[in-house]
């Protein structure tokens, strides 16, 4: 197991569409473990393949709510319902947060690490994470969708003021 190196906004791998996973072997399980470790080290709630430089349709999730972290392979959001406007951030766009419109509830179809087809209903934060990570696999970053003027920056990381 190993911590993988993160890729950041500006890296072209983040803008490419990841490819379907067709082989469900021990290497895939090892990759998922590495991604979970990397996500934990960075205190993230999700991490997608592109964020460690891999064009594979896999992401991992941990909401730190007492449930085990898990891996999602070949995800497709098949239903969306309602709306929420969370403050969102991304490990690949550090120290920045902004409001974004997300569905309140989604249904996600995916495969687990054994290749079994699954369907999961999610709402609130989990729905947000499913949308954010599925976007990553399609080369989309949350900063593409933020509500203008809602950007916030961590202390010391304010956007440069170009008006002066
Ligand atoms: Zn992200």
Over residues 17-32, the pLDDT tens digits come to 999 999 999 999 999 9
Spacing, Cα 138 to ligand 1 middle (Å): 12
Spacing, Cα 131 to ligand 1 middle (Å): 10
Whole-prediction pTM:
0.94
For residue 106, the SS3 value is strand
In the chain, the N- to C-terminal Cα span, in Å, equals 48
pLDDT at 162 over 60: no
Residue-level pLDDT at 65:
95
Is residue 133 annotated as a catalytic residue, yes or no? Answer: yes
> What pLDDT digit, counting tens, does each position of 94-153 carry?
999 999 999 999 999 999 999 999 999 999 999 999 999 999 999 999 999 999 999 999
Spacing, Cα 164 to ligand 1 middle (Å): 31
Distances from the Cα of 163 to the Cα of 63, 132, 160, angstroms? 39, 32, 9
- 1 confidence band (pLDDT: 50, 70, 90): confident
Q: Which of 68, 133, 152, 158 is catalytic?
A: 133
Collect all residues with Cβ–Cβ distance below 8 Å to 41 and sequence separation of at least 6: 3
For residue 134, the SS3 value is helix
Spacing, Cα 143 to ligand 1 middle (Å): 9
């Amino acid at each position: 197991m190993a911590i993988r190196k993160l890729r950041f906004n500006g890296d072209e791998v983040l803008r490419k569409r990841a490819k379907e996973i067709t082989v469900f072997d021990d290497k895939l399980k090892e990759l998922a473990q590495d991604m979970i470790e990397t996500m934990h080290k960075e205190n993230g709630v999700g991490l997608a393949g592109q964020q460690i430089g891999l064009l594979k349709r896999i992401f991992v999730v941990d909401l730190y709510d007492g449930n085990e972290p898990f891996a999602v392979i070949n995800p497709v959001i098949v239903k969306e319902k309602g709306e929420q406007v969370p403050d969102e951030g991304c490990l690949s766009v550090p120290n920045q947060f902004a409001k974004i419109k997300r569905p309140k509830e989604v249904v996600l179809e995916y495969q687990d690490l054994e290749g079994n087809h699954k369907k999961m209903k999610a709402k609130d934060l989990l729905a947000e994470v499913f949308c954010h990570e599925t976007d990553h696999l399609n080369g989309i970053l949350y900063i593409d969708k933020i509500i203008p003027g809602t950007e916030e920056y961590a202390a010391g990381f304010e956007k440069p003021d170009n008006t002066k």
